[in-house]
Amino acid sequence: MTKQKSIPLKNRMSRLWFYFRAGYGFYFVFIISGLNALMIAYFVVLGSVECVDGKTIEDTGQYICAIRSVFPTFGHFILGALVIGFPMLISVGYLHYQKNQYGTHAHINWTTNPYQKVTLLLFLEIIAEMNTPSGPLGKPIDLERTKRLEDMQKRIKTFLEDKRLQDKDDDALFKEF
């Protein structure tokens, strides 16, 4: 049985802090804020209106009473919010990424994560190895493939020098690979 290396206390505390922030930020706050918004919407807005039986909406002018008749309890309101809100929020999230907001996230990752650059540098080394005269695993490589690999190398080097990640052309670079 192999003995695992002990993680120094400073690193362990950093990891625990990171996991705490991820759990708190992604899950706990997300659920609590969602429930908070639903409770405010139901109990403050819908629950504060006095609905008079026997009168029409037009007589009282209280359109909230109609909404309250559709959602008589908080459970019905949550169910309605899930049935309507969940697909709507999925659509909004999809559109968020389709409108190139992913490029903004990638730019932030690029500027804050040194491993991104290391990955591309390793990719360059792999391309260089594949582009040797004898080819990978000693098999000869054709001229078209050599030209394509050299072009890929040039584009990655230019990309690493510019560090742009904000241009529309950046998406095209990664889609080609």
pLDDT at 60 (0 to 100): 58
Pick the range with the lowest mean pLDDT from 24-28, 61-65, 70-74, 75-79.
61-65
CA distances from 98 to 83, 91, 103, 104 (A): 23, 10, 10, 12
Please give the pLDDT value at position 138. Answer: 61
Q: Which two tokens stand for residue 34?
A: 């969602």
Question: 0.85 exceeded by the pTM?
Answer: no
Q: Crossing angle, helix 168-176 and helix 102-112, to 10 degrees? A: 80
Measured CA to CA, the distance from residue 101 to residue 171 in angstroms comes to 12
Which one has a higher pLDDT value, 114 or 24? 24
pLDDT given for residue 57 in this prediction: 59
Asked whether residue 10 carries a pLDDT value surpassing 90, the answer given is: no
User: pLDDT for 105-115, tens place per residue?
Assistant: 777 777 787 77
**What confidence tens digit (pLDDT) does each residue in 127-173 have?**
777 666 665 566 666 777 777 777 877 877 777 776 555 555 555 55
